[in-house]
Amino acid sequence: MLGMRKWSPLIAVCLGTFLLLVDVTIVVVALPAIGDKFDAGYADLQWVLDGYALSLAALLLGAGSLADRYGRRRTYLIGIGLFALSSLLCAVAPNEQALVAARILQGAGGAAMFATTAALLNVTYQGRDRGVAFGVWGAVNGAAAAAGPLAGGLLTEHFGWRWIFLVNLPVCLIAVWFTVRGVSESRAPQGGRFDLPGTVSFTVAAAAVTYGLIRAGDAGWTDGVALAAFGAGLVALAAFIVAERRSDHPMLDLALFRRGPFAVLIVAAFLTQAAAFGYLPFGTVWLQQVLGNGPVDAGLVGALPMAAASLVVGAGAGRLLQRVAPRWTVGVGLLLIAAGDLLQARLDADSTGSALIPGLIVVGVGVGSVLPSLSSAVLAEVPRERSGMAGGALNTFRQLGFALGVAVFGTIFANKVSAGHGQPAAFADGLNAILLVASGTALVAGVLVLIFVRHRVTHAEEPQLVKTA
């Protein structure tokens, strides 16, 4: 009983982390079924993914500030409750608009959880226990990516796509029980202040640019609404920069980007998510709508090889990778992602799903090298007192990279399929095109890291946290 009590906070944090991360990949396999149910096009399906990712990205830093000020345990519990409610709303959504709205709300709950997980573990465990806790939590991060496609396929094929959201409810209840039972409240010595101007302007900028990209894929790049969205995004981005420079408590200190290695690593995180994951939804569409695979087979073929390879590399070589300079683990890992994307970009009308597997495995090896190293590399490039903000920025730009990657690739894919009148060869051409763009994206990111990330800065101190009963 004492051991269970000791590890209750870890169980609570891992359950929440697993839920919020698995709900990205679990939906990918269900997209064709959702599209059939609501007669939804590519643009609507993209928003089922991007609504969640954008909400998570836009609110992550602000949620972290609120948690530091008002309590991390309280914020985490609110996040779980919001995630459970929105999951129920997703499951009963009568149309695609309601589903997208519920996914946006789900992203807000995920942001409240994600912003507090590392801090809760940091304040709860010390010494060797802290190392064990973060090791288990990291493994859960990888397991969520691996479990998502298979779980999504099984639930969609045998019970229906709504169950991918309903299954969250009992897990949320268990997470609440462990949190109430074992997690103590904690706050930062000087609690953060919610940066409303920064949060609003950042959200508007990200949403407007994403909407513009998806709209352009539907209506063309000269469409007035798409151009207006791009304009609104630029104005909102300028407003965000002004707001952060003038704020005494910015949610993102832009001075951090004056550090060349930090800026390059954040850009690399953004491009990694796009290059490694942004094309997966369209591979699932090809596997199910063109090749006739069921959701389970689509998950096994179209995403699991990458996720499993990433998990094996991250878990098996994680400690070794931490001893290697991030210039090599991140830079070479990105080159592997570029090679894996390129290896997949050789499809034609007669190709089968197995043509994707070798490239997906190579991408997974790259992801397993890049993602664990990115976190430590980013934190090593900033002062200790900015480590929380830097970690939040990393997760924010990762999610934003996924959202914009899906939007850009969706535009390319839709144009290719439309130009080919929906023939099997057109779907293959569309996948080849986005895989080539993804490969080039990873290549650019890898070269940037190899050139500009030269050293690691070490810190001797742990951040001070205030723990309350």
Estimate the crossing angle of helix 295-302 against helix 31-38, to 10 degrees.
Answer: 140
Phi, psi of 40 (to 5 degrees): -95, 145
Residue carrying structure tokens 């001893």? 323
The pLDDT value given to residue 345: 95
Estimate the crossing angle of helix 72-91 against helix 96-124, to 10 degrees.
Answer: 160
The pLDDT value given to residue 468: 37
Cα 261–Cα 265–Cα 269 angle in degrees, nearest 5: 175
Which of 407, 434, 413, 410 is CA-nearest to residue 50? Answer: 407
The span from the CA of 425 to the CA of 73, in Å, is: 52
Residues with Cβ within 8 Å of residue 302, at least 6 apart in sequence: 28, 29, 149, 280, 283, 284, 287, 353, 356, 360
Model's pTM, two decimal places? 0.87
Residue carrying structure tokens 């980013």? 378
Which of 288, 220, 344 is CA-nearest to residue 33? Answer: 288
The span from the CA of 323 to the CA of 14, in Å, is: 25
The pLDDT value given to residue 347: 93
Q: pLDDT tens, position by position, for the chain (469 residues)? A: 445 677 888 888 889 988 988 887 788 888 899 999 998 887 788 889 888 988 888 888 888 878 877 888 899 999 999 999 999 999 999 999 999 999 999 999 999 998 888 778 877 887 777 777 777 777 777 677 667 888 888 899 999 999 999 999 999 999 999 999 888 887 766 655 677 888 889 889 988 998 888 888 777 788 899 999 999 999 999 999 999 998 887 888 898 898 889 999 999 999 999 999 999 989 998 999 899 999 999 988 988 898 888 878 876 666 676 678 888 999 999 999 999 999 999 999 899 999 999 999 999 999 888 887 887 788 788 887 677 788 788 888 988 999 899 989 988 998 898 888 888 899 999 999 999 999 999 999 999 999 999 765 444 334 444 333 3
The pLDDT value given to residue 467: 39
The pLDDT value given to residue 141: 73
The span from the CA of 232 to the CA of 207, in Å, is: 10
The pLDDT value given to residue 117: 83
Which of 379, 289, 262, 275 is CA-nearest to residue 333? Answer: 275
The pLDDT value given to residue 460: 36
The pLDDT value given to residue 465: 41
The span from the CA of 283 to the CA of 467, in Å, is: 47
Q: 3-class SS at 76?
A: helix
Q: What is the 3-class SS of 150-199, one letter each residue?
A: HHHHHHHHHCCCCHHHHCHHHHHHHHHHHHHHHCCEEECCCCCCCCHHHH
